[in-house]
Amino acid sequence: MHIEAFDIAVIGAGHAGCEAAIAAARLGCRTALFTLNLDQLANLPCNPSIGGTAKAHMVFELDALGGVMPEVADANTIQSRMLNRGKGPAVQSLRVQCDRAGYHLDMKARIEREENLWLIQAEVVDIGLVDGAVAWVETALGVRYGAGAVIVATGTYLGGRIFVGDRVFPGGPDNAPPANRLAEALERLGLPLRRFKTGTPPRIDRRSVDFSQLERQPGEEPPLPFSVSALTGRTKGPRNIVECHLGYTNEETHQLIRENLERSAMYSGHIEGVGARYCPSIEDKIVRFADKTRHPLFVEPMGVDSGEIYLQGFSTSMPFELQIQMLRTIKGFEQARIMRPAYAIEYVCIDPLALRPSLEVRDIPGLYGAGQFNGTSGYEEAAAQGFMAGVNAARRHKGLPPVVLNRSESYIGLMIDDLTTKGCTEPYRMLTSRSEHRLLLRQDNTRTRLRHRAEEIGLVPDWRRQADAVYKKQLEAELNRLESTVLPPGDRLNALLVQKGTAPVSTGVRLSELLRRPELCYEDLAPVDTHRPPLPREVVMQAETEIRYAGYIRRQQEQADKQAKMENSSLMGIDFSAIKGLRIEARQKLMAHQPATLGQAARLPGVNPADLSVLAVYLHLKAQQNSRNKEDKT
């Protein structure tokens, strides 16, 4: 039964699906967003937070490009903190606690108001092809909807299985049903599928926790928003209205876990899927870090009006009764009552090497993947991929080339490049250490480094372009002022320098030179920098970083420019089997993955510098031949 035709169908309304659907709809495509349950749209089933190390960078990038997560996170923030304050600016990352119910309701309301977007509660069970390309989706009720492109953003629902000790049953997050029939349909399409695993801690009744035994973790004032719309007062901004706390496991906890390891689904052999290396269960921590006498546990509320407490760092697949025993060994949790037990969940995902950098499946035109379906872990990774998949599906519908972000200009581009050229053998999590240019990819410079990409995509409204233009002008003016303003030597200046533990001066000194001294910051210089203009703190933060790390930034930019030359060296349409001098392994890898550029080829496992030299020579000779052919024609 055929009901209606859409330009784009998005399967799954988690963080990837919501971003994909809104982006596609705002780019003028008739878009359908399918979800198993409207009440679980934009759910926060793992933890009620947005951001964190490297993840926050992608949220800021989403805001610069026109995504939705930053605004929704700001509007529902109940605590805000900056991580890694004591480290360099490249790794400082904003992390906020969100009201879980508020986030869901806010995102749902935005989607319901979105022109060109239809929200449909239905289980999609099949995807149909015509002449090898996507043509329709079918629901469990036998209804078919036409679709020129389909984005699979199924999260952990696809073929989901829940594990609590030795109890194993089909299911998605929060006792939702799994999407088994769709998993079977994707397998019939010939996609390279596999199983990954993730987990979540128990939710605890806050009335049963003795907070006096825990360390307080208040929010930071004033809270920094993710979005420029909140920064300029156009939308609701973040607030600090709750406290988080910190607790610790102890030797009694560890001993209890060691004595019962065989009861964990992780260690009993029940789980087939591969788990995330950087987000291990508590039993995995005890085994892998046997020398640790304690592990930190972050005690975080699920919302302003919720009595549930989330215990970050205590993910487990132990039996329910053992979860209670483990909890009650922890100081402050001696009387803890579990409202929702912890569980591990195993799900089906695709090998991302089957995807193009546009996130389109190589062998099936019009089929895209996003989020955990692509092998990643985390809301922020999912939202970023969903946004790019939605943008590129819309551009395909309009006959435009895809937008592919470079790894040297954004964490989003870095993540997608890693996935589609290197693949992943476990759930992929973004880390600042993955970037070779992380000093260029800071939180504070997102508005300036991605302006040209935002213009290319076309989702940033006029007011935002104007605000960014003003920001850029203020930043450039302040950088020029700091570099050109010379302070004369004098008692007042030298007294300040000595007070801050740095050497006095006997000649004039530029403000920029003083800022490069590690003992000084922008605010320290206020008493002697009497003509500084009033500026937003965001401008000040970026200007200070640009000045302080100018030499390092310049060197990284030179490296990025060299890499950009490789990224611009196209390998499209090349028959790698015909190139002499390539090693057999390299030829096989290149033929299998079909890298679009020399830069992508360089990141393929099995392709070494000698192979790249052969490719470079081939491209050079080919360019010369093309040039001669043009001359002959003229």
pLDDT of 440 > 90? The answer is yes
**Which two structure tokens, joined as six digits, stand for 6?**
């859409």
CA 346 to chain centre: 21
Percent above pLDDT 90 for the chain: 79
For range 553-577, the mean pLDDT: 85
- pLDDT reported for residue 38: 97
Reported as a single tens digit per residue, the pLDDT across 418-428 is 999 989 999 99
From the list 555, 527, 522, the residue with the least C-alpha distance to 540 is 522
- pLDDT reported for residue 277: 67
pLDDT of 620 > 90? The answer is no
pLDDT of 156 > 90? The answer is yes
pLDDT of 97 > 80? The answer is yes
Q: How far apart are CA 176 and CA 161, in angstroms?
A: 11
Q: Which of 137-146, 259-268, 509-518 has the lowest mean pLDDT?
A: 259-268
For residues 78 and 276, which has the higher predicted lDDT (pLDDT)? 78
Q: How far apart are CA 568 and CA 566, in angstroms?
A: 5
pLDDT of 127 > 80? The answer is yes
What's the whole-model pTM score?
A: 0.92
Contact 64, 450 (CB under 8 A): yes
CA 60 to chain centre: 10
- pLDDT reported for residue 45: 86
Q: How confident is the model at residue 311 (pLDDT cuts 50, 70, 90)?
A: very high
Measure Cα distances from 17 to 124, 147, 218 in Å.
14, 16, 33
Q: Which of 250-264, 288-302, 417-431, 600-614 has the lowest mean pLDDT?
A: 600-614
Q: Which of 55-59, 475-479, 551-555 has the lowest mean pLDDT?
A: 551-555
- pLDDT reported for residue 46: 82
Q: Which amino acid is at 372?
A: Q
Reported as a single tens digit per residue, the pLDDT across 344-402 is 999 999 999 999 999 999 999 999 999 999 999 999 999 999 999 999 999 999 999 99
pLDDT of 483 > 80? The answer is yes
Contact 72, 110 (CB under 8 A): yes
Domains and CATH numbers, the chain: 2-49+68-80+99-195+347-404 (3.50.50.60), 203-345 (2.40.30.260), 479-555 (1.10.10.1800), 569-633 (1.10.150.570)
